[in-house]
């Protein structure tokens, strides 16, 4: 199986490393002015892993698209539309696109599969790869379970069959809406968890997990998905890796934010929370945790006031 991976950040580089490890021919693409690409092309390694000789590097998007049937995309979710516009200028009929990011377009509230379908068209298959797992753990040989989802079960089964290994066990995603919304929203819950850590209220993270999953399940249902998906691998199943792990960018961002410090790496939840507020209004669904995070990050509300008061508000029925 020939694979091209678009994006050479932490996760994109891991995908190239992983796919090559399980026997596939891999081409890894990065932008010419990318710091990550410069590092990889010069040393063939980053701070997480070293690339084997079986992985080729390129800055040619056309070469990447022409070389493979399976195109994995791992870029900042807010940059996806721009990349998809570039891809649409090439012949990609019958190509299979696997989106390996967890986000929602913040200006439109659209899921990433919708963004790609709008720009590239429907003649190609689109799937998502989501669920728990950190590069640091995988490279160390620690296994995990993840999800492949699409609206085409044949495509889902094809990708799972070609990617499964002892390191990653893939499950079939049966609800694309729920998988995408759940995966993106868990980053926002991760920021909330980090803020609680920064305020020394980590004991509230259990309540955050329970109420967070319930909150997102309501949104998934309102959007036409299966609310039970929120309790699966794409959302609740990813909480340990996002709300507690030292490797989680979103949790770390929230912790440092609460302490008045800056975090210099990508935390997708910062943009995603804006999209979730947009969706809550569109679908008339209350998202109190997301609203509290949004007020803290983007409206200047104090973190302690927004989040602690949220959990200590007047008594309500749990369900």
Active site residue 186: yes
Element (H or E) spanning 96, and its range?
A: strand 96-99
CB of 176 closer than 8 Å to CB of 114: no
**The tokens 């000789």 sit on which residue?**
53
CB of 152 closer than 8 Å to CB of 125: yes
Q: How far apart are CA 50 and CA 88, in angstroms?
A: 32
- Between β-strands 96-99 and 2-6, what pairing exists: parallel, antiparallel or unpaired? unpaired
User: Which one of the listed residues 186, 252, 274, 295 is annotated catalytic?
Assistant: 186
User: Which of the 8 DSSP states describes residue 302?
Assistant: -
Name 216's Cβ contacts closer than 8 Å, sequence gap at least 6.
181, 182, 185, 186, 189, 230, 235, 287
* Residue 174 in tokens: 């049966």
Residues acting as catalytic residues: 186
């Amino acid at each position: 199986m020939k694979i091209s991976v678009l994006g050479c950040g932490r996760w994109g580089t891991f995908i190239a490393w992983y796919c090559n490890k399980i026997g596939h021919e891999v081409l890894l693409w990065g932008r010419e002015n990318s710091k990550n690409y410069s590092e990889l092309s010069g040393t063939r390694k980053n701070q997480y892993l070293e690339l084997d000789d079986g992985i080729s590097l390129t800055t040619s998007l056309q070469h990447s698209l022409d070389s493979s049937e399976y195109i994995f995309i791992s870029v900042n979710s807010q940059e996806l539309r721009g990349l998809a516009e570039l891809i649409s200028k090439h012949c990609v009929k019958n190509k299979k696109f696997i989106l390996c990011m967890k986000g929602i377009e913040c200006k439109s509230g659209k899921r990433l599969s919708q963004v790609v379908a709008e720009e590239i068209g429907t003649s190609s298959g689109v799937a998502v790869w989501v669920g728990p797992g950190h590069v640091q753990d995988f490279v160390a040989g620690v296994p995990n379970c993840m999800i492949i989802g699409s609206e085409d079960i044949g495509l889902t089964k094809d990708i799972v069959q070609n990617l499964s290994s002892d390191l990653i066990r893939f499950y079939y995603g049966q609800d694309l809406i729920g998988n995408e919304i759940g995966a993106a929203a868990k980053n926002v819950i991760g920021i909330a968890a980090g803020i609680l850590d920064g305020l020394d209220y980590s004991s509230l993270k259990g309540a955050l997990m329970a109420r967070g999953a319930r909150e997102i399940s309501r949104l998934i249902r309102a959007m036409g998905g299966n609310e039970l998906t929120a309790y699966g691998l794409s959302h609740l199943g990813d909480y340990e890796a996002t709300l507690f792990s030292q490797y989680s960018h979103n949790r770390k961002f929230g912790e440092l934010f609460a302490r008045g410090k800056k975090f210099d790496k990508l935390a997708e939840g910062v943009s995603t929370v804006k999209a979730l507020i947009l969706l809550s209004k569109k679908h008339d669904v209350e998202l109190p945790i997301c609203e509290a995070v949004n007020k803290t990050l983007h409206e200047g509300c104090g973190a302690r006031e927004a989040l602690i008061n949220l959990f200590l508000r007047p008594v309500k029925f749990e369900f």
